[in-house]
């Protein structure tokens, strides 16, 4: 099972970000301050710097965690905040990614442990191992996509850090050394020797960061490539050799100078390129422009565009107004959506969830939808400001997905934010725009989210919403007045087989399906017996189960991820056996999570009425979620 980051890297070079510390110092952080502490004290600064790099064109951003190991934080009396600082560092990077809407990779940055991890210049191996284990574990848990070990001059310390990463996680590893002006490490290792050592460690990407400017880094990279031609390389140079001007540290290399070195670095084998100390969003913007002039970059853009095709949806019937003022259509009876036609034909269907962005760009979500389509999904369902947190409107993203990716969408539609008039108006607009698969939801309380002062509406609940949509399908509005034509909505409802009061949930579900639903989509489950209990209780209390079922499956990433979901996320219950299995998996958590999801899916497909799966990616990892589908024979 390859990692999505490595798959992407194999398709062409990636652009990283520039300096975080330099930008924080420019905002007023003292040179003697622990910049990682700003994750807690100035989170807006950190988030805004991430956003600036993303807007400049960075595709990999590094969490503000370089010096957030226990020994380094102890120098600032912050050793008790290792977890908080690292977790918040990744969280701020994730928030910036969501706000940008871009398909950005988040790297957990790990630096050398500093003097406190050494005795008379010799690394204290056990203490160092414990420090790396602690920091790397938090970065992994918080949702980092990869690890970057930066600015290492001691090969033994770097080897220990890589060994911990391999033992504790399944994340890709980028290992970068630093060299002096003489082109060798502080321990005297040449670039060729460093390349041999890193290749022997089995790192995914090896390279140079910090050190000196682009010209000297190019010399080092050229030697590393000659020594290990098969090794993927990274280059993140400083903006030249710094000098002081009063209280300021000045780096001389201008953005255009960095841009001039992009082509030579790529020719020398660099796959991941960015900047280190002294570089700014202007440097990254200049490098982005240089990359886009490169033939490899142009080829990558062409390939991406070829994956984004026009919509493959049924056209809206032509509408005419007769001389009597009655509305007529070319089709007397509305056609059901493609999703409903597949369900009625007995096909197994797949939907993949996409959360709308927190900002104005949906690029990452469109890319996720394209991944889902390429892996055989029938639909993409779009959440409606989940957990009551402000995001792009779900209907807008559904329209963009259908138009630009060409796959049906399922609109999550809540009654939380809309009056009866607005509910009906938005549904009419949704139908006109071709978004006709709707899951009727009540919606989370605003008090749970980031706008607690917002006022909830709740003129009706999800049951009332199903009734409204069902009346639309009969050609009537809620008050019973005719529209003149009927809508063709496919109506989905939610059910939660994990609820403690299962009888109450079953009875409420019965009200939903009796109101006119066509299918149900469950909360994520992790044990087939959970669904069977719900199904059997329904039949015991209400007779034959009336609708098709899309089972919610959420592939787990690690034991910490599973524990967090079980203990802190409403509506998710993970059995003890699954938690124990994830704990035993250790660093192979992602692989084990996918395997567990595949086993679960195969068992559930044998259950009556289960006719599809509803995949929920964690941390926006659509490729990982879609790996679950590898065991499904879609023609069965």
- Please report, for the chain, the start and end positions of each structural domain, with discontinuous segments joined by +: 13-297, 348-631
Residues 366/399, Cβ–Cβ less than 8 Å: no
Tokens describing residue 384: 């409606």
Reported as a single tens digit per residue, the pLDDT across 12-41 is 999 999 999 989 988 888 878 899 999 999
CA angle 623, 626, 631 (to 5 degrees): 135
**Tell me, what's the pLDDT at 497?**
93
Reported as a single tens digit per residue, the pLDDT across 534-552 is 999 999 999 999 999 999 9
Q: What is the per-residue burial (b if ≥16 Cβ within 10 Å, else e) of 595-609?
A: bbbbebbeebbeeee
Element (H, E) at 596: helix 589-604
What single DSSP character describes residue 149?
E
In this chain, the answer to whether the domains covering 13-297 and 348-631 adopt an identical fold is: yes
Reported as a single tens digit per residue, the pLDDT across 219-260 is 999 999 999 999 999 999 988 665 544 455 556 678 998 999
> Could you please report the per-residue DSSP string of 385-409?
SGGG---S-HHHHHHHHHHHT--EE
What's phi and psi for 594, nearest 5 deg? Answer: -65, -40
- Mean pLDDT for all residues in the chain: 88
Reported as a single tens digit per residue, the pLDDT across 361-395 is 899 899 999 999 999 999 999 999 887 788 899 99
CATH architecture of 13-297: Alpha-Beta Barrel (3.20)
Q: Is the dihedral of CA 29, 31, 36, 41 positive or negative?
A: negative
Residue range 348-631 forms a domain whose CATH class is alpha beta
CA angle 390, 392, 395 (to 5 degrees): 125
Of the candidates 386, 387, 384, 439, the residue with the CA atom closest to the CA atom of residue 408: 439
pLDDT at 341 over 90: yes
Mean pLDDT of 345-374: 92
Q: What is the per-residue burial (b if ≥16 Cβ within 10 Å, else e) of 283-312?
A: bbbbbbebbeebeebeebeeeeeeeeeebe
Query: pTM higher than 0.75, yes or no?
Result: yes
């Amino acid at each position: 099972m390859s990692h999505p980051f490595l798959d992407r890297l194999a398709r062409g070079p990636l652009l990283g970000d520039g300096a975080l510390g330099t930008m924080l110092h420019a905002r007023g952080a003292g040179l003697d301050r622990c910049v990682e502490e700003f994750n807690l004290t100035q989170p807006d600064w950190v988030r805004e710097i991430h956003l600036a790099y993303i807007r400049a064109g960075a595709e990999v951003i590094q969490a503000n965690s370089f010096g957030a190991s226990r020994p380094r934080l102890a120098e600032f009396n912050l050793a008790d905040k290792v977890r908080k600082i690292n977790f918040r560092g990744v969280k701020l990077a994730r928030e910036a990614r969501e706000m940008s809407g871009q398909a950005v990779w988040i790297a957990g940055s790990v630096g050398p442990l500093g003097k406190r991890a050494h005795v008379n210049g010799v690394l204290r191996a056990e203490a160092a191992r414990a420090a790396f284990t602690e920091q790397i574990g938090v970065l992994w848990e918080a949702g980092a996509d990869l690890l970057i070990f930066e600015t290492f001059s001691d090969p033994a310390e770097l080897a220990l850090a890589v060994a911990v990463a391999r033992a504790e996680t399944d994340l890709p590893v980028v290992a970068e050394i630093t060299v002096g002006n003489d082109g060798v490490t502080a321990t005297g290792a040449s670039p060729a020797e460093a390349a041999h050592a890193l290749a022997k460690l089995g790192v995914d990407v090896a390279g140079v960061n910090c050190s000196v400017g682009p010209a000297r880094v190019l010399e080092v990279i050229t030697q590393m490539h000659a020594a290990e031609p098969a090794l993927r390389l990274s280059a993140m140079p400083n903006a030249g050799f710094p000098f002081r001007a009063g209280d300021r540290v000045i780096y001389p290399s201008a953005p255009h100078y960095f841009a001039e070195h992009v082509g030579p670095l790529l020719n020398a084998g660099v796959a991941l390129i960015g900047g280190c100390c002294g570089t700014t969003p202007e440097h990254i913007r200049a490098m982005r422009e240089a990359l886009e002039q490169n033939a490899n970059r142009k080829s990558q853009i062409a390939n991406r565009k070829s994956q984004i095709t026009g919509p493959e949806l049924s056209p809206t019937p032509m509408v005419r107004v007769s001389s009597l003022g009655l509305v007529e259509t070319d089709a007397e009876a509305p056609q059901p959506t493609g999703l409903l036609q597949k369900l009625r034909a007995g096909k197994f269907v797949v939907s993949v969830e996409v959360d709308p962005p927190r900002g104005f760009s949906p690029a990452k979500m469109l890319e996720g939808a394209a991944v889902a389509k390429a892996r055989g999904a029938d639909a993409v369902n779009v959440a409606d400001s989940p957990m009551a947190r402000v995001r792009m409107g779900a209907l807008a993203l559904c329209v963009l997905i259908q138009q630009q990716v060409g796959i049906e969408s399922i609109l999550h539609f809540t009654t939380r934010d809309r009056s009866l008039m607005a509910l009906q108006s938005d549904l009419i607009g949704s139908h006109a725009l071709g978004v006709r698969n709707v899951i009727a939801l009540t919606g989370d309380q605003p008090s749970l989210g980031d706008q607690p002062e917002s006022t909830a509406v709740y003129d009706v609940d999800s049951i009332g919403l199903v009734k409204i949509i069902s009346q639309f399908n009969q050609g009537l509005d809620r008050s019973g007045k005719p529209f003149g034509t009927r809508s063709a909505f496919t109506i989905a409802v939610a059910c939660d087989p994990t609820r403690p009061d299962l009888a109450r949930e079953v009875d409420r579900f019965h009200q939903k399906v009796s109101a006119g639903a066509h299918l149900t989509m469950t909360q994520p489950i992790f044990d087939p017996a959970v669904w069977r209990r719900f199904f059997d209780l329904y039949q015991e209390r209400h007779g034959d189960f009336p609708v098709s079922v899309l089972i919610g499956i959420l592939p787990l990433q690690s034991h910490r991820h599973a524990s967090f979901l079980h203990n802190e996320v409403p509506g998710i219950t993970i059995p003890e056996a699954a938690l124990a299995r994830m704990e035993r998996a250790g660093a192979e958590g992602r692989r084990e999570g996918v395997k567990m999801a595949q086993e679960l899916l195969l068992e559930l497909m044998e259950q009556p009425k289960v006719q599809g799966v509803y995949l929920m990616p964690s941390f926006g990892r659509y490729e990982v979620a879609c790996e679950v589908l590898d065991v499904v024979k879609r023609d069965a």
